[in-house]
Structure 1
Amino acid sequence: MDARSEKSLQGVHPDLVAVVRRAHAVSPVNFIVTEGLRTPERQRELFNAGATKTLRSRHLTGHAVDLAAKVGNEVRWDWPLYEQLALAMKAAAEELGVPVEWGGDWPNFRDGPHFQLPWKDYP
């Protein structure tokens, strides 16, 4: 993974870091980690912009990451790319025995770039 992604993984729970690294190795879609651990100020900024629906994000404790698909050198937001990333993340998580939730599976606010460790398993 690139240096930006490695920097974004600082402070993220080691189980989630392992899943991201494994997914990066097996994913048909290249990706970068855009955000991991967030400050409360950054969370509020995203909340105020409508990019998140909560101030109680898993990012605040290092239990979530946001990924961005790359095609060539360009970051892309096409939904099918995130479905492929989700398959790679879920496969990596299963292989490593780490439960992971994908924001794209949420019914009320589908968040394709978002992956997190579940509250019930990682309080």
Structure 2
Amino acid sequence: MRVAKLLRLIVFLLIMFVVGLLVYQYIVFPEYEDALMPTNLHPVVAEKRDDLIVRAADKGITVVITDDFRSSEDQEALYEKGRTVEGNIVTNARGGESYHNFGLAIDFALLTVDGVLVWDMEYDGNGNGLSDWMEVVDIAKEIGFEWGGDWASFKDYPHFQYDYGLSIRDLQRGKRPPEQ
């Protein structure tokens, strides 16, 4: 008799656990519509990129966009650098785990007055006593970009993203930002 009650209790608890997991899955991980992977930079991010370049040029700074949209395959190849391929580790994001893969990120460098591409955060090519790099960062933040240099871990100083409040998980599950 006691064993039967214990067995019923265990079965009841298991059923409640499974139901709880299903509810949790539905609430925390809602299903999104199937969505195609982007194949280029999001139009709003492209506008912000162009605005960044113009505003920096107005301050005498030449910004060069070194990367924007990146396919998952290209991302995976970049991830392998410093791991299975010679070079330095430049990303912790595998293919499909980067905002670049969803057309929501850009990377930049500066073009010196001598025509040399640099990632020098101290460079002051416009001679105003301020770091050109940080002037570009300030402009980018003014127009809504998040800067990878503000991240707590794996700081990505040449990286800007405009994520619409969407996580990589949201994007992987098919959620997409509006086109406007």
TM-score range, shorter chain: 0.7 to 0.9
Amino acid at match of 2:106: V
Superposed CA deviations along residues 28-82 of structure 1, whole A, max 9, x for unmatched, are 3211111111112211121121111112000111111111111121111112343
Quick one: distance in 2 between partners of 1:100 and 1:61?
Answer: 15
Partner in structure 2 of residue 116 of structure 1: 161
Question: TM-score under structure 1 normalisation?
Answer: 0.78
Q: Which has the higher contact order (CA 8 A, sep 6+)?
A: 1
RMSD over aligned Cα, in angstroms? 1.9
8 Å contact from structure 1 (residues 82, 112) kept in 2: no
Paired positions, count: 108
> Which runs of 5 or more residues in structure 2 are unaligned?
1-38, 82-88, 123-131, 167-175
Extract structure 1 runs of 4+ deviating beyond 4 A. Answer: none
Offset at residue 119 of structure 1 (A): 5.3
Please tell me whether Structure 1 or Structure 2 has the larger radius of gyration of its CA atoms: 2
Quick one: distance in 2 between partners of 1:34 and 1:14?
Answer: 18
Q: Give the structure with the larger strand fraction.
A: 1
Amino acid at match of 1:89: A
> Which runs of 5 or more residues in structure 1 are unaligned?
1-9, 94-98
* Residue identity (%): 28
Question: TM-score under structure 2 normalisation?
Answer: 0.55
Does 2:116 match 1:79? no
Cα 1:15/1:66, change in 2 over 3 Å? same
